[in-house]
Structure 1
Amino acid sequence: MFPFRWRERAEDKYLQLLFAFLFLFLAAPLILRIGFWGEFLLAYILLGTILQVIRTFNVGKRLFRTFLLLGATGVVSGTAIALAELQTPIETILQVVNDLSTIAFFLLVILLFVAKIFRDKTVTIDTLVGGISVYLTIGLMWATIYQLILIFDPLAFALPETQESARSGMFYFSYVTLTTLGYGDIAPVQPVSMLLAALEAIVGQIFPAIFIARLVGLYTAREASDRASSENRDPSE
């Protein structure tokens, strides 16, 4: 029997997603050496985990089917690319479809998660983990955007000589940019890539600030409510 049931642990809906992200970051350096199949395996694990989390939200059938359609499009196109191994226009088209469906999927996930988190009335561990998951998903979405740019402009980024794959390097570059570390080993050198990198850095600063402000506001409101309830309580009780 599977030890963890999502519907029984809906209050911890973001926890396993965070574990999936941790596995992604720890295993990626080794698995990505396999090539596209390694990238595909990591994406499949994360996709399945996100869909399980979405199921706990009890979203409408139409919205959930949209998530399934986008996820299936990414899986099918990614599998076709890995199996074909042909440097042809068809492969380029499949790669564009794969990246666009992945970007749309992550964007919808971010919007859904943010809506759910900011609708919470109290601060819980799940709320904190959800905010972290959104932040990490933003990094993944931007990494896919950079990969899409590379399809149309392979020279959009300056890469170190030791970088074997430009596509896999975009995951690293995205999170370095999102957290504004800016090591400089990978750098955007074309106007579009420079603009998107700057925009990601801005989002990487704005989202934590808004999220923390929301948490403080919820905590302060809860404290004020509890204090008012305590003061208005009948002393004879």
Structure 2
Amino acid sequence: MERKLGLLLAFVVLLQFGYPLTHYSEWWTAAYLMFYGGMIFFGVQVVRGRGRACTPTMVVGLLFAGFALWFALAQHSTVAYAGMLLSVGTFMLLLIVELMGYVFRRSSSGGVSLILAAVCVYLILGGFFATVFSLIELAAPGSFSDPQNTEMRFQQFIYYSYVTMATLGYGEILPVAPWARALASLETVVGTLFLTIVVARLVGVWASQAAPAERDDASRD
């Protein structure tokens, strides 16, 4: 499981921080979309490794692959863009639920595996909110304002999502519509609570594993 989580994390990092590649050309955009294949593959492997039914995750992953291929061939198609956002957002949500179950329901997990799973969840959360921001802007253009870009795309929302979740508040991109502002506030709260709760979980696991060892040492003394 540790290896699968590590590879999943590697692809998630490439996706969430390699998006500037899409600014070079449409070919680079198509190449960038291939990273999602790695995330989907290892995401399904993680779900399968937990002994859970992976059919919903696989179905959504295949849907995304179809829409991503369509979008790679027709990058100005609104339908392909919307379908890609909906499918990848759903896949990320399913993966978040599975990884959260791994972090909070597994009583005797290794420390490294728990940390890898928690980091994956945090980064995927940023990607999930970026897809929702993109869908809001697609449904209601002008929901967000960016003086440097007349057209808001998914790439800008990846940046905005992490800035919002980390409460940096640089202010280049601003939520204008009520639902956009509500979602931005929700992401800030979710990101803050997630860090607090996960740190408490990791400390609890460490304490529960350290207590028996300390008792054994005391009994030997």
Instruction: Place the TM-score, normalised by the shorter chain, in its bin.
Output: 0.7 to 0.9
Q: CA RMSD in A?
A: 2.3
The residue aligned with 1:98 is 84
TM-superposed CA distance for 1:151, in Å, is 1.2
Tell me the alpha carbon deviations over residues 64-108 of structure 1, each in whole angstroms, 9 at most, x when there is no partner: 11111101111112222332456xxxx434433322222221111
Q: Please, which runs of 5 or more residues in structure 2 have no aligned partner?
A: none
Asked whether the 8 Å contact 2:16–2:123 carries over to 1, the reply is no
TM-superposed CA distance for 1:111, in Å, is 0.7
Aligned residues: 218
Equivalent-residue separation in structure 1 for 2:31 and 2:170 (angstroms): 26
CA gap of 1:166–1:40, structure 2 versus 1, over 3 A, is same
**Which shifted more, 222-231 or 191-200?**
222-231
The residue aligned with 2:18 is 27
From 140, 146, 151, give the equivalent of 1:153: 140
From 69, 78, 81, give the equivalent of 1:79: 69
Larger radius of gyration: 1
Equivalent-residue separation in structure 2 for 1:219 and 1:204 (angstroms): 23
CA gap of 1:215–1:123, structure 2 versus 1, over 3 A, is farther
The residue aligned with 2:156 is 169
Q: Provide TM-score, normalisation by structure 2.
A: 0.87
The residue aligned with 2:60 is 70
Asked whether the 8 Å contact 1:123–1:219 carries over to 2, the reply is no
The residue aligned with 1:11 is 2
Query: Where do residues 1-237 of structure 1 align in structure 2 (5 Å cutoff)?
Result: 10-35=1-26, 36-60=29-53, 64-85=54-75, 91-118=77-104, 119-162=106-149, 165-232=152-219
Equivalent-residue separation in structure 2 for 1:38 and 1:153 (angstroms): 29
Asked whether the 8 Å contact 2:89–2:128 carries over to 1, the reply is yes
Asked whether the 8 Å contact 2:16–2:158 carries over to 1, the reply is no
Runs of 4+ in 1 over 4 A off after TM superposition: 162-165
Q: Please, which runs of 5 or more residues in structure 1 have no aligned partner?
A: 1-9
Equivalent-residue separation in structure 1 for 2:173 and 2:37 (angstroms): 26
